[in-house]
Chain A
Amino acid sequence: MTHGGRRWLWVAVTIIALWLFLPAFAVLPMSLNNTNRMSVWPEDRSLRLYDQLFGEPQWTAALTRSFRIGAIVTVLAVVLGTLAALAIARGYSRARRAGLNALILAPVIIPVVIAAIASYSLYLEWNIVGSERALIFAHTSIAIPFVVIPVLASLRGINPTLEFAAQSLGASRASAVWHVTLPLIRPGIAVGAFLAFMQSFDEVVLSLFLTGPLSRTLPVRMYSALIDDLDPTVAAAAAVIILFTTVAVVSIGVSRLSEARGAH
């Protein structure tokens, strides 16, 4: 590519990046608003909204509940998703592997509203609507594919003969996976864990159906804050989420970069 061409490429990349990320970061100045009117660039600035976010029990309860559910969902989805990925990558029958793959990835394809209606009616039957358990079940089912996909990608980069080597050296199949495969797919698991957490943490549709007034997660609280009482605290909540996600994405990126450097 010519020098000029490269410059235009950078211009295009910058424009696209701004277009993608600017709306998200607009919540940062919004969150410094000191009035009760929403504004992107408030003139009267303070940290009042953060006081409200971390002070009012309605908000703090939703915040801690979201983190708690997200953490449990992450653990469940990582364990189940990694096992599923191992079965898909190392299973014996090709047909069974393909079937399992389709089944596991189905939640990504099925519209969330339909999944929400379905789980709502099912959980009504089981009498668990409004409980954290209901959210954990539902969120885990949609989070699993987000673990399976990166873990499968990691597994494809590993020579399966390594497991045979481990077995010839005295490791059972399970021990070979534990000592050889798992350490090698750790980057995929880390990405999967992050995606699984975010799936649960910012999930709105299922949560709207499955939470009651006493079990609202942060996104549901934000939604009702906007719809019901136009509470500007929502901007502070959004800013916290944006900062948290940015830090997580950057640290994953940095660790992958240093791992890639270390490999050469």
Chain B
Amino acid sequence: MNPGRQTFLKEGTGNGVGELTTEGLSVGQNQVSLELRNLVKRYGSVAAVDDVSLVTKPGEFITLLGPSGSGKTTTLNLIAGFLTPDSGDIYVDGGPISSVPPHRRNIGMVFQNYMLFPHMTAEANIAFPLKRRKLPAADIGRKVGEALDLVGLRDLGTRYPRELSGGQQQRVALARAIVYNPPILLMDEPLGALDKNLRESLQIEIRRIHRELGTTFLYVTHDQGEALALSDRIAIFKDGKIEQVGTTTEVYDSPTTTFVATFIGESNIIRGQADSKRSALVAGPWTLALPAGTTSTGHLAILVRPEKLSLGGVALGRNSLRGVVIESVYLGSARRISMDVRGVGRLVAYEPAGSSLGADAGSEVEVSWAIDDAVVLAERSHPGSSDEDGDDDAVNESDETEQLPDQQSPGSNSLKTMEDQ
């Protein structure tokens, strides 16, 4: 690989680190690959991160998505160097970095609760990483200005964190994490403490900044909508393991496990027994055709997304079931119809708002889908899969910050958050 990209591994904060940072906030010059190889981190007998392997492409936006305690934040802290893996290794452009201390890794990190230094102005916060790298004062001033421009806070540089709203604080934190042009930026639920509108506008901003910088972004969230909106690829975590890695359309359209299918988007899971020819699934009283190319036999589950289900429409190449409508909710552009199907359970369908084919609660309806719109899932069993036990947030020493994302009003300062902990 390119040896020039490994300058951050050098000892000392002299030229090695300085070179990378004097290039300015420019596009695409700074792309490296990141590889996690069989990472394991245990707390007692619990493996918070259990054999995680992942390769990112240079400049990629990859999201670690999973419920609280699934090991995604621990993985991020291993990459940042705040935690040491029990086994496995982390490579940046082919070089192992597990023995490099955090401050020499040259990896940027944005935290959920901003972690701005409360005794410094926004400018001083952003200048902090440049001062540690002993840049000349003139360069520091220019770069801080550029970074403030990039996040749209040019006029607020002299404010203290407590004088900024939550969204503004997170913008400053973002500027601080990218001002030294790190080739990799880690973001740990950066929008978790913000309200919904702010979250959406900052999502757009993060996307834009990623496009402009070309830095590899590793983003942790438990919000699947956010993951779908932002990422090139998503790695879905469960119980310390990666359940599936894929592009947003891959994980939505072709999930490989029931966990991924239910965690991302709304889903109808139909469980049954496949026949020996792998062509039909017997679920309760129903016999359903399996999509072409099904390879598994025995106990099986298929996924049908609600928008693939439609009322009525028995036709060639379609499976159909009969059920009783439980509830029909008008959503404006569509009607969300949930129904109970004997031997299968509850199914949800989205119908275009115009067509309301006898979909009132209590009425019996026929529902159908194209055979090949179903996805066959692996029914993986996870013994002892309690989602809340893992120590996901080892750095904060408690999961509270992750559990209470909406407790913080945008106006409160970060010191308050600290006192809460």
Question: Chain A: residues with CB nearer than 8 A to chain B?
Answer: 157-162, 164-173, 175-176, 179-180, 183-184, 263-264
CB–CB B111/A263 < 8 A? no
B117: A residues at CB distance < 8 A: 162, 165-166, 179-180
Does B102 contact A168, Cβ atoms closer than 8 Å? yes
Contact partner, A169, options B101, B129, B413, B419, Cβ 8 Å: B129
A-contact 0/1 string along B99-128, CB 8 Å cutoff: 001111111110101010111000000001
Is A171 touching B103 in the complex (CB atoms < 8 A)? yes
Q: Given the complex of chains A and B, what is the CA–CA distance between A184 and B129 in angstroms?
A: 18
**Total A-B contacts with CB atoms under 8 angstroms apart:** 85
Q: Give the nearest-CB partner of A159 in chain B.
A: B418
Interface membership of B132, Cβ < 8 A: yes
Question: Which of B104, B162, B395 has the largest count of A CB atoms less than 10 A from its CB?
Answer: B395
Contact yes or no, B80 A168, CB < 8 A: yes
Judge if B17 is at the interface, Cβ distance under 8 Å.
yes
How close is B226's CB to chain A, nearest CB, in angstroms? 22
Contacts A168-B80, A168-B107: A175 and B132 contacting too (C-beta < 8 A)? yes
By a CB distance below 8 angstroms, the chain B residues around A264 are 162
Known: A161-B111, A161-B396, A165-B111. A170 touches B421 (CB 8 A): no
User: Chain B nearest CB: distance from A131 CB in Å?
Assistant: 41
**What are the residues of chain A within 8 A of B132 when measuring CB–CB?**
169-171, 175
Decide if B118 touches A184 in the complex (CB within 8 Å).
yes
CB pair B80–A169 under 8 Å, yes or no, is no
User: Do B418 and A167 have beta carbons less than 8 Å apart?
Assistant: no
- A160–B177 alpha-carbon span in the complex (Å): 18
Instruction: Determine the chain B residues whose CB is within 8 A of the CB of A184 once the complex forms.
Output: 118-119
> How does the 8 Å CB contact mask read for B140-176 relative to A, with 1 for contact and 0 for none?
0000000000000000000000100000000000001
Nearest 4 CB-CB pairs, A to B? Answer: A159-B418, A170-B132, A169-B129, A165-B115
Residue A159 contacts which of B17, B108, B115 (CB distance < 8 angstroms)? Answer: B115
Interface residues of B (CB under 8 A from A): 13, 17, 80-82, 101-109, 111, 113, 115, 117-119, 128-129, 132-133, 162, 176-177, 180, 186, 395-397, 413-415, 417-419, 421
Find chain B residues with CB under 8 A from A167 CB.
81-82, 101-103
Q: Give complex CA distance A165, B174 in Å.
A: 12
9 contacting pairs across A/B (C-beta < 8 A): A157-B415, A164-B109, A165-B111, A166-B128, A167-B81, A167-B102, A168-B105, A168-B108, A168-B109
How far, in Å, is A46 (CB) from chain B's closest CB?
Answer: 50
Q: Are A169 and B176 in contact (CB under 8 A)?
A: yes
* CB-based nearest B residue for A170: B132
With a cutoff of 8 Å between Cβ atoms, the chain A residues found around residue B415 in the complex are 157, 263
Whole-angstrom distance between the alpha carbons of A158 and B13 in the complex?
27
Q: Which residues of B contact A170 (CB under 8 A)?
A: 13, 17, 103-104, 106, 129, 132-133, 180
Partner of B80, one of A164, A171, A172: A164
Q: Which residues of A contact B109 (CB under 8 A)?
A: 164-165, 168
A172 with B421, Cβ < 8 A, contacts A164-B80, A184-B118 known: no
A207 to B395, CA, bound (A): 46
Report chain A residues within 8 Å CB of B414.
Answer: 159
Residues of B within 8 A of A173 (CB): 103
Distance in Å: Cβ of A190 to nearest Cβ of chain B: 14
* Residue in B106, B128, B177, B395 whose beta carbon sits within 8 Å of that of A161 in the complex: B395
B105 nearest CB neighbor, chain A only: A168
Min CB–CB distance B172 → chain A (angstroms): 12
Q: Is the CB of A162 within 8 A of B115?
A: yes
CB neighbours (8 Å) of B395 from chain A are: 160-161, 164
Q: Other CB < 8 Å A-B pairs besides A160-B397, A263-B413, 5 of them?
A: A159-B417, A159-B421, A167-B81, A169-B129, A172-B101
Q: Is the CB of A157 within 8 A of B82?
A: no
Return chain B residues, CB-CB under 8 Å to A158: 418
Q: Return chain A residues, CB-CB under 8 Å to B108.
A: 168-169
The interface residues of chain A lying within 8 Å CB-to-CB of B103 are 167-173, 175-176
| Bound-complex Cα distance A109 to B200 (A) | 57
Pairwise interchain contact A161-B13, C-beta atoms closer than 8 A: no
The distance in angstroms between the C-alpha atoms of A263 and B162, with both chains bound, is 7
A183 contacts which chain B residues (CB < 8 A)? 119
Interchain nearest-CB distance for A128 vs B (Å): 42
For A176, what are the chain B residues with a Cβ–Cβ distance below 8 Å? Answer: 103
